Amino acid sequence: WDPGQTVHLLFMYVCVMLHRTHNQMKTYLLQNSEDIRCKCICPPYRDIEGQIYKQNVSLKDCNCLHVVEPMPVDGKDVEAYCLRCECKYEERSSGTIKVTIIMYLSILGLLLLYMVYLTLLEPMLKRRLFGHSQLIQSDDDVGDQQPFANAHNVLSRSHSRPNMLNKVEHAQQRWRRQVQEQRKSVFDRHVVLS
């Protein structure tokens, strides 16, 4: 049994799987053959009005003769008409657009829910659980008035909390305090970012 051979086999397996997923992704993203088009704009000619022609053909067929159908002029004028037309090949990825919009809307929705929870539900829940409002107003001085308390904060940060839940709770409290300080600087005291 040769370990080198196993590595070689593993490597080939990974390559095949990657290739397969890549093909699948490509077919998924480009599943619309409508994602390619050739757009020909033909300006007004004599008494024929301006027109726009679109077809999904590939790059090699993207010219006036293939796309402009039905041709509005007869044989001798076709060349003159086609000279004035401008044909462009365009490609887009509708899969990317779909994924992006869905991702954006879901993040926006989550943030909105969290915002509603923070501003409306949490104070209500806290008030119910703790009876009278025990909402602790944290001391938000920037540290100049109490230099030694600030030093205390800096040093205590290096202690580690053993409990996972405590850690999450602690991090969230710290984040809320930071945001409150930021809000004070920006909105109340107008110190930063007028």
Q: Which residues bind other proteins (CB under 8 A)?
A: 34, 37, 41-47, 49-54, 56, 84, 86, 88, 90-94, 96-98, 100-104, 107-108, 111-112, 115, 118-119, 142-144, 147-148, 150-152, 154-155, 158, 175, 178-179, 182-183, 185-187, 190-194
Task: Choose between 166 and 180: whose C-beta lies nearer to other proteins.
Answer: 180
Using the structure block, give the residue that is written with the tokens 């887009």: 92
Euclidean distance between CA atoms 48 and 63, whole angstroms: 20
Q: Which is nearer to other proteins, 50 or 123 (by Cβ)? A: 50
Shortest Å distance, C-beta 22 to other proteins:
15
Judged by DSSP in three states, 83 sits in helix
Q: How far is the CB of 89 from other proteins (least distance, A)?
A: 10
Q: Check residue 150 and report its DSSP letter.
A: H
Nearer to other proteins, 18 or 186 (CB): 186
Q: What is the DSSP letter of 77?
A: G
Radius of gyration of the chain measured on its C-alpha atoms: 33
Q: Closer to other proteins at the Cβ: 5 or 119? A: 119
Min. distance of Cβ 32 from other proteins in angstroms?
Answer: 9
Cis previous bond, 70, omega within 30: yes
The CA distance from 188 to 21, in Å, is 53
Minimum distance from CB of 139 to other proteins (Å)?
Answer: 15
| Shortest distance in whole angstroms from residue 70 CB to other proteins | 12
At position 155, the amino acid (one-letter code) is L
Using the minimum distance from each CB to other proteins, give the nearer residue, 10 or 97: 97
Q: What is the DSSP string of 100-142?
A: HHHHHHHHHHHHHHHHHIIIIIHHHHHHHHHSS----------
